[in-house]
Amino acid sequence: MLKIPSAISSLGTGLMAATTAATLIAAGHSVIFWGRTEESLQRGRDGAEKALRELEANGLLKERTPDCLERISGTTLLSEAVKGASFIIESLSENLELKRKILGETEKYCSPEAILASNTSGLLPSAIALSLKRPGRFLVTHFWNPAHLIPLVELCAGENTAPETTAQVKAFLEFSGKKPAVLTKEAHGFIVNRLQYALLREAFFIVDSGIATMEGVDSAMKSSLGRRLADTGPFETADLGGLDVFLSIMEYLYPDLSRESDPSPLLREKVEKGDLGAKTGRGLYDWTPEKRSAILAKRQKTLIRFLKEDLKDS
């Protein structure tokens, strides 16, 4: 049902909604935004257009951006946004009650055959689906930011998600040029956020324990694992290095690693002071607009290079 270019409804108009819409529009689908105001709808359209132009400028778009933009529309009426959609993705803020409320209302207006999805980055699908009468047609599709440049989409089914729903969405995403990773059991944070936060916990522990500075940790990661993990995941890395070697290291290293169940005091202190990172000009580092722009531009260049390599391999 979802393999052919189809009508998609995007509930939300923020950064994730816009870049998710852009990657699906680039694959040939049509997207209708739902937002609370005309201003928010324009923000979503502008964000999608920016992402599409980035793809076009780097030879990653099969059409011209203006042609793609003809497949974007928007409305402030939820009933209008979802009535003809076969795939409806919610990309609202990480608020469980809000997601339940909007998806519950959506179900009143959409086709019984439509698939509903949440772009949550860590909430359990079974918890979100409590407001739904048809939970078999619901699952999590966690696109990674920026969605138009990172191919991964984590698929997490809830307790009542029908197997065919997951299979349909997986096929739809593969058709759309994404790389879905299907969880076999629902879990907070899914796959990559669990790995990311385990890494961040140990990074804070290293700094809090005086083993190295933040600058040292960041530099070491970027010039080692950050490069190697692009081609070999953790299990492939272990096999290539020798499981006997990894077991030997684990036996003496594991007892020395962080087992903290609370966030780092350093992180909590920064948040309490209002030093929230690049968006406030100060966090774990000091940030200027120029520094932030330079790092994001460099990261974007790297992600585009990877996408071009993916196309060569396909």
pLDDT tens string 180-224: 999 999 999 999 999 999 999 999 999 999 999 999 999 999 999
The pLDDT, as a whole number, for residue 2 is 60
My answer on whether 62 and 170 are in the same domain is yes
What pLDDT, in 10s, does the model give residues 277-296?
999 999 999 999 999 999 99
Helices vs strands, H then E, count in the chain: 14, 8
**Which is nearest to 5 in space by CA: 19, 26, 22?**
26
The answer to the question of residue 241 being in a domain is yes
Query: Which pTM value belongs to this model?
Result: 0.93
Domain end position, chosen among 136, 153, 182: 182
For residues 119-129, give the mean pLDDT.
Answer: 96
The answer to the question of residue 1 being in a domain is no
The answer to the question of residue 269 being in a domain is no
Domain end position, chosen among 182, 212, 245: 182
My answer on whether 214 and 113 are in the same domain is no
* pLDDT value at 246 more than 70: yes
My answer on whether 216 and 290 are in the same domain is no
Domain end position, chosen among 117, 149, 182: 182
The answer to the question of residue 286 being in a domain is yes
The pLDDT, as a whole number, for residue 286 is 97
My answer on whether 36 and 120 are in the same domain is yes
The answer to the question of residue 266 being in a domain is no
The pLDDT, as a whole number, for residue 312 is 85
> In this structure, are strands 152-157 and 138-143 parallel, antiparallel, or unpaired?
antiparallel
The answer to the question of residue 109 being in a domain is yes
What pLDDT, in 10s, does the model give residues 156-177?
999 999 999 999 999 999 999 9
Whichever domain contains 26, its CATH number is: 3.40.50.720
My answer on whether 161 and 287 are in the same domain is no
Whichever domain contains 207, its CATH number is: 1.10.1040.10
My answer on whether 169 and 196 are in the same domain is no
User: Per residue in 95-129, is it b (16+ CB within 10 Å) or e — as a string?
Assistant: eeeebbebbbebbebbeeebbbbbbbbbbbbbbbb
The answer to the question of residue 159 being in a domain is yes
Q: Which amino acid is at 145?
A: N
Distance CA(153)–CA(141), nearest Å, equals: 6
* pLDDT value at 268 more than 70: yes
* pLDDT value at 1 more than 90: no
My answer on whether 219 and 298 are in the same domain is no
My answer on whether 240 and 173 are in the same domain is no
The answer to the question of residue 264 being in a domain is no
The model's confidence at residue 3, banded by pLDDT at 50, 70 and 90, is low
My answer on whether 75 and 164 are in the same domain is yes
**Alpha carbon separation from 47 to 18, 26, 107, 148, 152 (Å, rounded):** 5, 14, 27, 11, 20
My answer on whether 137 and 209 are in the same domain is no
Name the helix (H) or strand (E) containing 141: strand 138-143
My answer on whether 17 and 159 are in the same domain is yes
SS3 of residue 291 by DSSP: helix
My answer on whether 21 and 89 are in the same domain is yes
Domain count, the chain: 3
Domain containing 106 equals 7-182
